[in-house]
Chain A
Amino acid sequence: MKKRIIAAIAVGVVAAAALTGCSSGGGSGSKTITIAYESYGGKQMQNYMSRIAKQFDKKYPGYTAKLVPIQAAENDYYTKLALMNKSGATAPDVLYEDTFLIKSDAAAGYLAPLDNNVKKWSDWSQFPANSRQAGEGADGKLYGIPMGTDTRALWYNKDVLKKAGISVPWQPKTWNDILDAAKKIKAAEPGVIPMNVYSGKGTGEGSTMQGFEMLLYGTQNQLTTSSGKWVAGSTGFKDSLQFIHNLYQGGLGPTAQQALDPNWGNQTPALLSQNKLGISLDGSWVSSSWGTAGVAPWSNWNSVMGQAKMPTQDGAAPGATSMSGGWTLAMGSKSKNPTAAWNFISLALNKDNSLYYATSNQNIPVRTDVASDPTYVKSNPTNAFFAGLVKITNFRPATSSYPAVSNNIQVAMESVMTGQQTPAAAQKVFDQALPQAVGGTKNVVTK
């Protein structure tokens, strides 16, 4: 009896799912396009996509946009997307694609090039050149239209700095300026962590991107050369590790225990709000932690927290640096209706919808007309500052070997911060592991 009831109800559930248009399979008809995206906590992404789908159905009668939200932690989203992409029956027409994966997904044949589409798209002129580069594959073709990005800089607690005798607003010109400020905080305020730079394997990619690369891309070196070869033995690499060494071994940072905790990233916003942390090298999104729905609600954050650009090592032009990730909309290579898919993408990223996305998703807009729009600038007091960093920002070399290199960087940082190795020794270990991570010595140049 129980079984029969359950079966009956289950049939009902399946039928209901079918009626709402969520039955199995990808593009069941050429007039239906599927859009796969990651549905985060909160409803922002869901609201944005539903909004576009509604506009699309209205603007292109006869066509239907079917949304496939995927709810998961980040790596699981990538996995599900790859599984869907592998099979022709389920490959989505439009994908919400991390800039980080564009190159490898293009190499895997999952994405369709969009160069011809943007040629005829007048809005394309609103996308600055360095942001376009984030959507490019290794073959130089364009595979994703940037939706929004993020930038990184120094967050500082004005109360902590003032107490240490540092005048605010504070804008360091060199790495030494930063370390000097940290030393002053350490001297004046015992019990306060002078400065946080994410480091080691615990905080994962956050260590590489918010920590190491924010340093390295302010030196004369980068991770890769302009021709895409990975760099070993550079001075910039060693100097960046030296900075980590000075910070952690000099007692200017958190303890290694704290920083290696995988949940450390969710604790720094609270420490800043409690005046227990002075400076933190972190992302443009941090203020969302202080919102009412965040991990450390703090209504007063905007009057206490200041932002400073991350200076280059010795102040060399352009004086400051930043790193960016971000997301794109891309088209599936197996799409049966590329025209409709492109219509959806261009609709989703027109000025109006881009503005909606930027204000509701705490994202830095890429389009210049959106970045300067008063609605956007007013929606968060830090927006103008972080959007201003887009001009000087850098993108990671997002090839398929990047995650392994990133892991090796975290290992090097960790051995330096714990004092197990000198920066030079840690660099040597990194250099030795590099060829295996990037597919052979042919992809490596030694400086």
Chain B
Amino acid sequence: MKLSSPSGRGLKIVSNTVLVIIGLCFLLPLLWLLVASFDGTANLTLKLPAPFTIDNFTSVLTPSLAFGPLWNSVVISFGCAIITIVIAVLAAYPLSRYRMRINKPFMYGILFGTCLPITAMMVPVYNLFVSLNLLDSIWGTVLFMAATSLPMAIWMMKNFMDSVPITLEEAAWTDGSSMMSTLTRIVVPLMRPGLAVVFIFVFVQAWGNFFIPFVLLLSPNNMPASVSIYQFFGQYGAVAYGKLAAFSLIYSVPVLALYVVTSRFLGGGSALAGAVKG
């Protein structure tokens, strides 16, 4: 990997070649998923579909199998990501801008405490939800997931905020802007790429989370797709691989769409550079 050509032409060729190679390495394991989803007799080896069929998709795309659970996933993941982002931006601002005595213990405390896997905490969490009467409530589950993703989100958010130059705020401060308006009008717009990363991160974590909704929800109508995917696992360990693969592809589409959208609308990095050049 030689990045030395000032003209950038050689650099481009090298970069593109390396990208193609890496892309292939990431594609190969996914091939099984793609091929199995069209295979009437899918198993765990990569083979040509025999017979080639879209039955896996048609049998999976029903209200009770796919749409209901996927909708629950959307509600849970969006709810969790939005709550997390709002609270994390608020919390990150003082942590990033002021040197306070509670910064470090606060950050480390919550970060490590909440990194305890949910499996280790499930008994107390379950009891807590019983006593709060929040069991089987989607919103209770959303709030809990937001609470668990907060520490990481705050940490990331603070880091992105640190790299927003303080010079821009100084101007606002001298104009007499309040803390909140500085935050929302100046800092937040400047850290859109960071916001996008945190949002996708929290969203994907919530989207793929099996154990929290499994423990905290009861009725099948409330279950997200990460739980309902187990309908493709039968008794005695039998797995319906074809349907599982088809379902997984459908399950992945919303998140991929979200990634494409956010990277297009929020990822434009020129905002910051422009602001600094001012």
A and B, one complex? yes
Interface residues of A (CB under 8 A from B): 3, 6, 9-10, 13-14, 16-17, 20, 22-25, 39-42, 68-69, 71-73, 76, 79-80, 83, 86-87, 89-90, 206, 263, 265-267, 270, 283, 285, 288-289, 293-297, 361-362
A residues near B230, Cβ cutoff 8 Å: 41, 71-73, 76
Chain A residues within 8 Å of B122, by CB: 79, 83
Q: Which 7 A-B pairs have the closest CB atoms?
A: A22-B219, A24-B136, A41-B234, A24-B135, A83-B126, A87-B130, A17-B221
Q: B220 near A: Cβ within 8 Å?
A: yes
Nearest B residue to A9 via CB reads B75
B12 to chain A, nearest CB (A): 39
Given contacts A16-B221, A68-B218, A267-B43, contact A295 B238 (CB under 8 A): yes
A361: B residues at CB distance < 8 A = 235
CB B112 to nearest CB in A, in angstroms, measures: 25
- Tell me whether A72 and B227 are in contact (CB under 8 A): yes
In Å, the complex CA distance between A76 and B237 comes to: 13
B215 CB contact (under 8 Å) in A39, A80, A270, A293: A80
Q: Does B205 belong to the interface (CB within 8 Å)?
A: no
By beta carbon, the residue of chain A nearest B220 is A69
Q: In whole Å, how far is A232's beta carbon from the nearest beta carbon of chain B? A: 30
B188 touches A (CB below 8 Å): no
In the complex the two chains form, is B130's CB within 8 Å of A17's CB? Answer: no
Chain B residue nearest to A22 in the complex (CB): B219
A266 lies within 8 A of B138 (CB): no
Interface residues of B (CB under 8 A from A): 40-41, 43-44, 71-72, 75, 78-79, 82, 122-123, 126-127, 130, 133-139, 214-215, 218-223, 227-228, 230-241
Chain B residues contacting A86 (CB-CB under 8 Å) are 123, 126-127
B218 contacts A90, CB within 8 Å?
Answer: yes
Pick the residue among B75, B130, B215, B222 that contacts A6 (CB under 8 A): B75
B79 / chain A contacts, CB cutoff of 8 Å: 6, 10
B269 to chain A, nearest CB (A): 25
Which residues from chain A contact B218 at a C-beta distance below 8 Å? 22, 24, 68, 90
A296 and B41 contact, CB distance less than 8 A: yes
Most chain-A CB neighbours within 10 Å: which of B41, B72, B127? B41
Report how far A308 CA is from B133 CA in the complex, Å.
55
Cβ of B75 and Cβ of A266 under 8 Å apart? no
Q: List 25 A-B contacts (CB under 8 A).
A: A13-B71, A14-B139, A17-B222, A22-B221, A23-B219, A24-B218, A25-B135, A41-B233, A41-B234, A41-B240, A71-B220, A71-B230, A72-B227, A72-B230, A87-B130, A266-B44, A283-B236, A288-B238, A289-B238, A295-B43, A295-B238, A295-B239, A295-B240, A296-B41, A297-B41
Cross-chain contact B130 with A89 (CB below 8 angstroms): yes
CB-defined contacts of A265 to chain B, threshold 8 Å = 236-237
A285–B78 CB distance below 8 A: no
Residues of A within 8 A of B139 (CB): 10, 14
Specify which chain A residues have a CB less than 8 angstroms from the CB of B221 in the assembled complex. Answer: 13, 16-17, 20, 22
Q: State in angstroms the CA–CA spacing of A20 and B137 once bound together.
A: 14
Identify which of B82, B138, B231, B237 contacts A14 (C-beta below 8 A).
B138
B68 — nearest CB in chain A belongs to which residue? A13
Q: Are B238 and A41 in contact (CB under 8 A)?
A: yes
Assembly CA distance A10 to B230 (angstroms): 24
Q: How far is the CA of A375 from the CA of B231 in the complex (A)?
A: 28
- A-B pairs under 8 A by CB, number: 123
Measured between alpha carbons, how far is A73 from B226 in the docked complex, in Å?
12
Q: CA of A295 to CA of B233 in the docked complex: distance in angstroms?
A: 11
The one of A17, A89, A206, A285 in contact with B235, judged by C-beta atoms closer than 8 angstroms, is A285
Contacts of B222 in A (CB 8 A): 13, 17, 22
- Contact of A41 (CB < 8 Å), options: B130, B214, B232: B232
CA separation between A69 and B223, bound complex, in Å? 11
A39: which B residues are within 8 A, CB to CB?
220, 231
Distance of A206 Cα from B235 Cα, bound (Å) = 13
Are A295 and B241 interface neighbours, CB within 8 A? yes
Q: Which residues of B contact A297 (CB under 8 A)?
A: 40-41
Contact partners of B43 in chain A: CB under 8 A: 266-267, 270, 295-296
Say which residue of A14, A87, A362 sits within 8 Å of B137 (CB atoms): A14
Establish whether residues B214 and A72, one from each chain, have CB atoms under 8 Å apart when the complex forms.
Answer: yes
Minimum C-beta distance from B222 to chain A (A):
6
Extra contacts, 15 of them, besides A23-B219, A68-B218, A295-B238 (Cβ < 8 A), are: A6-B78, A10-B139, A13-B75, A14-B138, A24-B134, A24-B135, A25-B136, A40-B235, A41-B235, A68-B219, A73-B230, A86-B123, A90-B130, A266-B237, A295-B241
Contact A22 B136 (CB under 8 A): yes
CA distance A295 to B47 in the complex (A): 14
Smallest beta-carbon distance B246→chain A, Å: 14
Q: Which residues of B contact A14 (CB under 8 A)?
A: 137-139
- With the chains together, A265 CA to B234 CA distance in Å? 13
CB of A76 within 8 A of CB of B214, answer yes
A80 — which chain B residues lie within 8 A by C-beta? 214-215
List the A residue with the shortest CB-CB distance to B240.
A41
In the bound complex, do residue B239 and residue A3 qualify as a contact, i.e. CB atoms below 8 Å apart? no
Asked, given contacts A83-B215, A266-B239, A267-B43, whether A24 binds B133 with beta carbons under 8 Å apart, the answer is yes
> In the complex the two chains form, what is the Cα distance from A13 to B71 in whole Å?
10
Q: How close is A186's CB to chain B, nearest CB, in angstroms?
A: 25
Kindly name the residue among B72, B126, B130, B218 whose own CB sees the greatest number of chain A CB atoms within 10 A. B218
Please state if A71 and B123 are interface contacts (CB–CB under 8 Å).
Answer: no
